[in-house]
Amino acid sequence: MKRLFFTLVALLLLMGSRSNAAPFAIKNGDTIVFYGDSITAQRLYTVFTEAYIVTRFPHLNVRFVHSGWGGDTVYGGAGGPIDLRLDRDVIAYKPTVMTIMLGMNDAGYRPFDQNLYDRYKAGYIHILEKMKAALPDLRFTLIQPSPYDDITRNPNFDGGYNQVLVKYGQFVKNLAIQNKDDCVDFNAPMVAMLIEANHQDPTLAQKMIPDRVHPSPGGHLVMAEQLIKEWNGPSLVSSVTIDGGRHKVVEKNNTSISNLKANANSISWTEADNCLPMPYDMKDPLVMLAINSSDFIQKLDREILKVTNASAENYELKIDGQDIGTFTNKQLANGVNLANYSTPMMQQAMDVLGLTFQHNNIHADEWYSVEVPNQNNVTDQIKEQEAKLNQQEADVIVKQRQAAIPKPHHFELDAQ
């Protein structure tokens, strides 16, 4: 009996290790279209997801198209009826991956209505059927609707609107299971973050979703985390362990170390990581509240420096001559996550994020201001405008990919 117990434990551990080692779901050559309503049209969780992929996999060739339209439902909206939206804003790009987040507007901002719910289900199924007919190999990631904020403020009616959205999200989950599609819950993790944020700072927490519908960048970071985790995005940026007593690198992961030099008071080396950390704005109080109220760093941004057997009590860390912080030998022995600090690597990743916003803003300008308004009157002048904007975006994407290539950095730990 005891042997059977340990065998079962071993099998469970093996299964867990296999699931943790699942490959990243996004492949070289993929085109991802993010489809949805105004929450997708904010171009925040989508841009953060793109920035993660570009910085974590700098040599992966993936195209990103952001096709959210304010007010949209499963039947379309101001951007056109659903079949036009799908033809023009999704199928035209020949995606291999499509994410769908709809429901906030479909449920009507009122107590549960069976007729609206049935209409939502029929419309959602139509979207999938149309897309499968047009692109049989398309991989779907269905997203359960993000929350309406009934957490930091009182609900507008008994039970609250978010409970209605949860029911809609359960349909999305069941549909994904039925069709064997990927599915991501944006609701429950956001609610958990809002509860913790409200505990930490009730006034600031109300600004996380200021109009109760559209999250701030901090909220979008938490939503992007859920999408990335569903795609098996690795948490590790890099990890290094140096034995300060023996002056030796004893472990390194996703990086290379050279020119290690050490004496009684100093350790220095050159480190060349294979990727950059996930960028986020450390100066934005709402971003930091979201991060401190969630497991974002643990799940997406582990850039670990560990130094054991260090002789001095305190060490100052510099990277490329830039002061990063002063750490005790105990902190170093336990491991310091450099993704929590404004390092040269994080600054480079923020440059990538800026270029990611830039190219998506150009695409939005072409789409909203030129393509859609003139779709029934495509003159040579309109074609020229579209071509000019498309070239501008392509030029920025080249800069984005170049900016994502990691660089070697000089690390120095000096005893204090």
DSSP 335-378: -EEGGGS--HHHHHHHHHHHHHHHHHHHHHHIIIIIITTTTT--
Sign, CA dihedral 211-214-216-219, equals positive
Distance from C-alpha of 67 to C-alpha of 76, rounded to nearest angstrom: 12
- CA R_g for the chain: 24
- Choose the final residue of a domain: 201, 230, 259: 230
What pLDDT is stored for residue 114 in this prediction?
A: 98
Q: Is 54 helix (H, G, I), strand (E, B) or coil?
A: helix
Is residue 272 within 8 A of residue 345, CB to CB? The reply is no
Q: How far is CA 166 from CA 87, 103, 147, 316, in A?
A: 29, 10, 8, 48
- Choose the final residue of a domain: 180, 202, 230: 230
**Is there a single domain that holds both residue 258 and residue 219?**
no
Distance from C-alpha of 96 to C-alpha of 109, rounded to nearest angstrom: 33
Structure tokens given for 289? 């509240």
The enclosing domain of 76 has a CATH number of: 3.40.50.1110
What pLDDT is stored for residue 11 in this prediction?
A: 39
Mention every residue, 6+ apart, whose C-beta is less than 8 A from residue 346.
276, 277, 279, 282, 338, 339
Range of the domain at 407: 238-416
What pLDDT is stored for residue 264 in this prediction?
A: 83
Q: What is the pTM of this model?
A: 0.93
**Is there a single domain that holds both residue 258 and residue 182?**
no
| Residue 218 resides in a domain | yes
Distance from C-alpha of 310 to C-alpha of 3, rounded to nearest angstrom: 43
**Is there a single domain that holds both residue 92 and residue 158?**
yes
**Is there a single domain that holds both residue 44 and residue 104?**
yes
Structure tokens given for 157? 């009616």
Helix orientation angle between 217-230 and 285-292, rounded to the nearest 10 degrees: 40
CA 4 to centroid of chain Cα atoms: 41
| Residue 189 resides in a domain | yes
**Is there a single domain that holds both residue 191 and residue 277?**
no
Largest CA distance in the chain: 79
| Residue 196 resides in a domain | yes
| Residue 1 resides in a domain | no
Structure tokens given for 24? 């990243």
Q: Is 183 helix (H, G, I), strand (E, B) or coil?
A: strand
**Is there a single domain that holds both residue 277 and residue 224?**
no
Structure tokens given for 281? 């704005």
| Residue 4 resides in a domain | no
DSSP E strand stretches across 80-178: 80-81, 97-101, 139-144
Instruction: Match 């950095």 to its residue by tokens.
Output: 409
What pLDDT is stored for residue 14 in this prediction?
A: 37
CA 374 to centroid of chain Cα atoms: 33
| Residue 12 resides in a domain | no
| Residue 302 resides in a domain | yes
Is residue 91 within 8 A of residue 131, CB to CB? The reply is yes
- Phi first, then psi: what are they for 66, rounded to 5°? -105, 110
**Is there a single domain that holds both residue 73 and residue 215?**
yes
**Is there a single domain that holds both residue 214 and residue 313?**
no
**Is there a single domain that holds both residue 201 and residue 243?**
no
Instruction: Match 């904010």 to its residue by tokens.
Output: 42
What pLDDT is stored for residue 269 in this prediction?
A: 98
**Is there a single domain that holds both residue 311 and residue 257?**
yes
Residue type, 30: D
Sign, CA dihedral 178-182-187-193, equals positive
DSSP E strand stretches across 42-93: 63-68, 76-77, 80-81
Q: How many domains does the chain have?
A: 2
What pLDDT is stored for residue 21 in this prediction?
A: 66
Residue type, 406: P
Is residue 270 within 8 A of residue 259, CB to CB? The reply is yes
Q: Which neighbouring-strand residues pair with 35?
A: 67, 100
Q: How many residues are recorded in the chain?
A: 416
- Choose the final residue of a domain: 175, 199, 230: 230
Distance from C-alpha of 243 to C-alpha of 250, rounded to nearest angstrom: 6
**Is there a single domain that holds both residue 179 and residue 322?**
no
Distance from C-alpha of 249 to C-alpha of 243, rounded to nearest angstrom: 6
**Is there a single domain that holds both residue 254 and residue 221?**
no
| Residue 108 resides in a domain | yes
Structure tokens given for 185? 């819950």
Distance from C-alpha of 266 to C-alpha of 317, rounded to nearest angstrom: 10
pLDDT tens for the chain, residues 1 to 416: 433 333 343 334 334 333 446 899 999 999 999 999 999 999 999 999 999 999 999 999 999 999 999 999 999 999 999 999 999 999 999 999 999 999 999 999 999 999 999 999 999 999 999 999 999 999 999 999 999 999 999 999 999 999 999 999 999 999 999 999 999 999 999 999 999 999 999 999 999 999 999 999 999 999 999 999 999 999 999 999 999 999 999 999 999 999 999 988 999 999 999 999 999 999 999 999 999 999 999 999 999 999 999 989 999 999 999 999 999 999 999 999 999 999 999 999 999 999 999 999 999 999 999 999 999 999 999 999 999 999 999 999 999 999 999 999 999 999 99
